[in-house]
Chain A
Amino acid sequence: MTATDREALIRERLTAALDPVRLEIVDESHKHAGHAQARGGGHFQVTIVSAAFAGKSLLERHRMVYDAMGDAMHGEIHALSIKASAPEEVQ
């Protein structure tokens, strides 16, 4: 799977589960090249704004993102850097 495919996979799963009003995905795999467990890539930075995060703690928001990614977190996606906000928290 290429970085573009992985990015599409993240977009598809997060869009389906969390209906984001904003979703930015940046491939950061190059920052971890040569890293023992990097398995050829799969580090992404995700900035997501969704009404689903309103009233949720940081831990709950990150869990919602990981839950939405499902089995992909155990295979194609090695790590996500997550910035999850509710719409009223961002301008």
Chain B
Amino acid sequence: MDVMDRIREQVEKNPVVIFMKGTPQLPQCGFSSRAAQALQACGEDFAYVNVLADPEIFENLPRFANWPTFPQIYINGELIGGCDITLELFQKGELQKMVKEAVARAGSSAS
């Protein structure tokens, strides 16, 4: 599968997905670590892609949504932003709402 299709598949099949350096358990970058922690604090399951383990995604993700840096967080198939935006939304209480709604929506359409 083409790398852009692989990225699109991750973004579309997961209500919440973070493309990050490392994993939520073993993040390899402070920005990725903080963004993953904010998602964890929302209390719902979320998917992650370790871009360091997938050089093709690492190289091509920046042009997928025209966003140059990692991490990248997608909710409901849309880019939310990187670490700063994710944390800002979390502090405002908006991220929690967005994550819960996305997970609930995915759950109801799957059943």
In this complex, the member of B68, B70, B83 whose beta carbon has the largest number of chain A beta carbons within 10 angstroms is B68
Chain A residues near B84: list those with CB within 8 A. Answer: 58, 62, 81-83
Complex alpha-carbon distance, A69 and B52, angstroms: 24
Complex alpha-carbon distance, A68 and B17, angstroms: 27
Once A and B bind, how many residue pairs between them come within 8 Å at the CB atom?
Answer: 44
Q: Is the interface of B mostly helix, strand, loop or mixed?
A: mixed
Complex alpha-carbon distance, A74 and B60, angstroms: 12
Interface string of A42-71 (1 = CB under 8 A from B): 000000000000000011001100100100
B88 to A36, Cβ gap below 8 A? no
Whether B69 sits at the interface, judged by CB under 8 Å, is yes
Q: Which of B1-38 contact A (CB under 8 A)?
A: 21, 28-31
**Interface pairs A-B: 7 shortest CB-CB:** A73-B68, A58-B85, A79-B69, A59-B81, A82-B84, A66-B68, A81-B84
